[in-house]
Structures are given as structure tokens and as C-alpha cells.
Structure 1
Amino acid sequence: MVPARTLTLLAAVIAAGVAACQPAQAPVASRQARAEEAAFQARQQAWRAGRVADLTRPDGWTSLTGLHWLDPGAHRVGSDTDNGIRLAVGPEHLGVFTVRGDKVGFVPDTVVMVDGEPGLGASTLRIDTDPAGPSKLVFDGGKGLATVIERGGRLALRVKHADAESRLQFTGLEYWPGGRDWQVAARFVPHAAGKTLPIANIIGTTDEVPNPGAVEFERGGKTYRLEALDQGEGTLFLVFADRTNGRGSYGAGRFIDAPKPDAQGRVLIDFNQSYNPPCAFTAFATCPLPPPENRLDLAVEAGERDYRKRAAPKPPTEG
């Protein structure tokens, strides 16, 4: 039989050993948590940096300088006052665009490149509904870009320029605090093949957009649902509104590019990467608006806040 004194000493040794082990576990768990948080923050910062780079490219959304509707007939285009369509930035006389039916012809009045080739005479321009995409009309030594787009059955000339005021005076993006808890696990609910959803846009027209399914997720014990769109980009395009719109985030909603569902129908929605539509930065974009189904009764305090152009700092005065 083991003496009571020996048992007492043995119990004390075991207790001391357990106590000695416990503090060692805490730093390990703490280091892991810090590493996970650091990795999350690094991914978010990389995404944000890519977002700014994309917006401020010479042909990014902040470079838009005009959206000019093209009615049937001829249109002389340039920055001079004698043009029917005046450019905010660009050559005095760019050329003449002629619309006949769904065809757009162009004759240059200055040095241009059309789809990578010198524009030496009359050419026919593709519009953005063409499978090959719109023709790219480049001018001002590569600074300017014009394309023809179709919206609501009408044709328009979309013009970008690297010297656009909105690009040169871009002041950066601001974000809600967000966090890892705004990376939400969702379930994909497929629709019948070929289903579309009517999506209104900011210029007052409506387009039928492929609607492959919806995503459902839970937040605070409630279930929410967003209809997903397919724009051929290999992702689920989510156009949504929430309780922060006009109260810190852009009033007309935000976008998310979510990954396609996995084999089990699982989708990760990262609201930290919700972003403003181009219309938040320029008056010349044709942004889709959130459909009624995608108006969340939820304040999504994650992702981009409303873009506010801040005044440039005044130079210091002397004396």
C-alpha cells in the first residue's frame, strides 16, 4: 500500500506539471491567431491595392470623360466648339462617326489607331455586344480611348482619357472596419437553365441578365438571400443594397465578385471585398442597380465606403 504522504507528494507533482504546461499552450494559440489575422489583413490589403490600381489605370473607370449618344446619321466629334459632339479632353477634331442601322462607321480627322492598326481611312467599328468586343479607337498618342457601346437599344460613344480630371484628382478609397466575421459561408441555390433577371441601370433602361441561381447565408440568426448574375467573368456577380447605403456607403448599392460554388454548392461571400460601382467615381458610367430581391435588411459595415472626393490641400502661404 502506498503511504498517504507519498500520494500527496505525487498529486502535487502532477498538479505542478499540469500548471506548468498550461501557460505554454496560450502563446501557441495566440501566435496562431495572430498569424491568421496577419494573413487575412495581407490578403485584404493586396485586394485593396489591386482595386486602386485597376480604377486608376490610364483606361480605368476614373478615366471616363464622356458618354455620348449616337443617333442615326453623321456626328463630328472633337474638343473644338464646332463639333456636334464635344470631347472634354482630346484633339480639336477627332473624326466623323456615322450610324446606319446597327453599323457605325468612322473617318478620322487626326492620327488614330483602330484595333492596333493606323486609322488611315474609313473603317467600320464593332460595338460592345460583338463577340470579339468593341473596336478600340486610340488617340492622343495612346492617352485617349473611344469605344461604341449599346445600352437599351441605343448606341453611345464611351470616351476615356488618361488626363481625365477624375483620374488625376483621385483621392483614394476608404473602408468599413469589416473583419473575418464578414467572410460568410453561403449555400448556392441553382435556378433552371436559361433563367434571366431584369436588371435596371442608372441611365433608366433594363437588361435581362443571366441569373444562374441565388446564394443564401445566415447572419445574426436570420437567413438572407441574394440573386446572383453571370456576366461571363467566371464568378457570381452580386449587386446588392443594404442599410448602409446613403449612410456611409454608396447610395445606389455595391458589387461583390464571389467564386462559383464548389461541388457541394458552397460559396464564400467576402463582404470585405464589396466595392463601389463605377458610377461612384464618374457621371459617365451605366451601372446596374440592385434588383428588389437583393435589398438586404442588414447593415453591411464591411467593404468600400462611399467615395468622397476631398479637396487638394492648399499650399502654405508665405509670411
Structure 2
Amino acid sequence: MKTPVTFVGALLLGVSLLAFRSDNPHEAEIKSWHQKRIESLKAEEGWLNLAGLFWLKEGENTIGGNEKNSIVFPAEHSDAFLGKVILKDGKVTFEAAPQAAVQLGEQAVANAELFPYQGKPTVLKHKTLRWFIIQRGDKFAIRLRDLEGTYVKAFKGIETFPITTDWKVKAKFIPTEGKKLTILDITGRSYEQASPGKFVFTIDGKEYSLESVGSKERPHFVFGDLTNKHDTYGGGRFLDAPAPDAEGYTYIDFNKAYNPPCAFTPYATCPLPTKENRLQVAIKAGEKYHGDH
């Protein structure tokens, strides 16, 4: 008789757990979102495997694991001489060294045009290394990935604040067509970016606002708050929101505030919050940070 009782008890426990989950759809949503966020960081195109950011000089830039190269790749994962990256008048090409095992896709490559490109960057491969070209202002750099890099191996997850609907706030979209924000990045470089509008909301009865970049349909925020340098990353955090409805309203869920790439690697070039996006309130929601602020 004990076996049926135990079985019924287990069923009741399962029903109870399912009921708990269904009663907390917001918590389930945030946990699912955060799990996908972790998976994206670990992916081949994620931020954890960044292993170098090398600014190119005009002309030839030799690459490889040997210190005689003008750009030195991790020696444990690179042959001594891989070839040269050539910057000329805003165009970047690659010429492989003799016998160098460099691939474009799954094919060995001797020459390749790296910049400009259409759509996604042109990525070259060698062993566990991947690299492509980025442009920042009038400067060009090699962004290097190492699929077995230090930051991939050291990653232990991301601590977060407790999930609560208190930090899911209704916001009103106010369009600012034609406005451009002057963005300063962590390297000290500045650039302009179009802002479709700002979003106004209240926290504890006080009004705040955030300037968005991206588009009205996919607003993105770089913001700071009073938790920075204490519980969260010193350079601020990122946040995305759904498009506003026909009346101009949406919900900003600070439980989905996430650390910028610079919290995980020194090889990223992250934007910093504008003065208007430095909120004078402690946003105790979303991802925390306990590294070197």
C-alpha cells in the first residue's frame, strides 16, 4: 500500500510545482531570457572569446604567433607567421604566408578582401582563432576571437538581483526625430548616433527618462544608475524594450538590464551612458558585477 501513496504524493508535488511556475510567468520569462543570454555569451559569436583588439597602421601589418610580427596572436594557438593584413585607403585585404593554414569558411585561403563587407564581417580562421575587421571612426582594427581563450574558460555565470515586477515600469515614448546623440566609448572615442526618441517613466513617484538608440520598433538603452561601481558594472548597463503600442506606451523591464561586453573582456569598445541616461536612482534589478570596476 505504501507504493501507491508515494506515487500519489509525487504527483501532487509535481502539480504543486507546476502551479508555482504558472503563478510566476514573469519570473519564468526572465529566467528563460537570462539563460539565452548566457548561451549567447558562450557562443562562437559571443563576447567571452574575444582575445585581442589590434589597431591597424596604414600599409602592411604582419600577423602570427611569433613576436617578430607587428600584430602578435596567442602563440599557443597560432603558427608563427600567418600572413599580412593590408590597410590601404580604407580598404583591408589579407595575404596568407606560404603554407599558412588560414581558412575562409571551410576553404583554405591565400587572399581575401576583409573590408568593406556586405552584411556580416568576413571572418578568417586558424585553429581556435577567428578574426575580422571593425571600424571605429576613421580607425580600423582586427578583432580576434579564441574559442579556447582565457575568458571563456574562466566564466562562471552572472549573478543577478532578485526578480520582481516592481522593476517592470510603464514608459511613454516621446519622439525626437532627427536628434543625434554624441556617444563616448570606453576607449575615449566619440561618435554620433541617431535617437528615435526618449522614454519617460516613474519610479517611486519620481519621473525619469532614457534616451534610446536603434529604432522606435527596437529601442535600445545604455544607462547608468547609482548601483554602478558598487553592485553593477561601473560603465553602466544595456537594456532593450518592446516597441511602443499605438498610444505610445511600452514596458521597460529592468530585470533584463545586462552588462556590456566590456564587463567580460578588455577587447571590446563599449559605449558609455550619455549624461541624460545617468539615472539618479539605484536600479536594483538585472545583472550584477563584482569584477574590476
TM-score range, shorter chain: 0.7 to 0.9
Instruction: Give the TM-score taking structure 2 as reference length.
Output: 0.87
Residue in structure 1 matched with residue 235 of structure 2 by the alignment: 252
Secondary structure of 2:24 counterpart = helix
Amino acid across the alignment from 2:157: G
Residue 111 of structure 1 and its aligned partner are, at CA, apart by: 1.9
Q: Is the 8 A contact 1:80 1:92 kept in 2?
A: yes
Residue in structure 1 matched with residue 107 of structure 2 by the alignment: 118
Unaligned runs of 5+ in 1: 1-30, 310-319
Q: Does 1:136 pair with 2:123?
A: yes
The whole-number CA distance in structure 1 between the counterparts of 2:286 and 2:62 is 42
Secondary structure of 1:283 counterpart = coil
The whole-number CA distance in structure 1 between the counterparts of 2:262 and 2:89 is 29
Q: What is the percent sequence identity of the aligned residues?
A: 37
The whole-number CA distance in structure 1 between the counterparts of 2:270 and 2:255 is 21
1:188 corresponds to which of 173, 177, 180:
173
Residue in structure 2 matched with residue 61 of structure 1 by the alignment: 47
Alignment RMSD (CA, Å) = 2.1
Residue in structure 2 matched with residue 267 of structure 1 by the alignment: 250
Q: Is the 8 A contact 1:239 1:256 kept in 2?
A: yes
Secondary structure of 1:197 counterpart = strand
The whole-number CA distance in structure 1 between the counterparts of 2:176 and 2:131 is 37
Residue in structure 1 matched with residue 80 of structure 2 by the alignment: 92
The whole-number CA distance in structure 1 between the counterparts of 2:33 and 2:53 is 29
Residue in structure 1 matched with residue 11 of structure 2 by the alignment: none
The whole-number CA distance in structure 1 between the counterparts of 2:132 and 2:267 is 13
Amino acid across the alignment from 1:277: P
Which string of whole-angstrom CA distances, capped at 9 and with x for unpartnered residues, describes residues 92-143 of structure 1? 22221011110111012322222x262432222124xx44232111221xx3
The whole-number CA distance in structure 2 between the counterparts of 1:213 and 1:172 is 34
Residue in structure 2 matched with residue 145 of structure 1 by the alignment: 130
Amino acid across the alignment from 2:135: E
How many positions carry a matched residue from both structures?
272
1:78 corresponds to which of 53, 64, 86:
64
Residue 153 of structure 1 and its aligned partner are, at CA, apart by: 1.1
Flag the structure with larger Rg: 1
Residue in structure 2 matched with residue 170 of structure 1 by the alignment: 155
Q: Is the 8 A contact 2:21 2:28 kept in 1?
A: no
Residue 226 of structure 1 and its aligned partner are, at CA, apart by: 0.3
Residues 287, 180 of structure 1: alpha-carbon distance in 2 compared, 3 angstrom cutoff: same
Residues 35, 66 of structure 1: alpha-carbon distance in 2 compared, 3 angstrom cutoff: closer
Secondary structure of 2:60 counterpart = strand
Amino acid across the alignment from 1:122: N
Q: Is the 8 A contact 2:27 2:163 kept in 1?
A: no
Residue 252 of structure 1 and its aligned partner are, at CA, apart by: 0.5
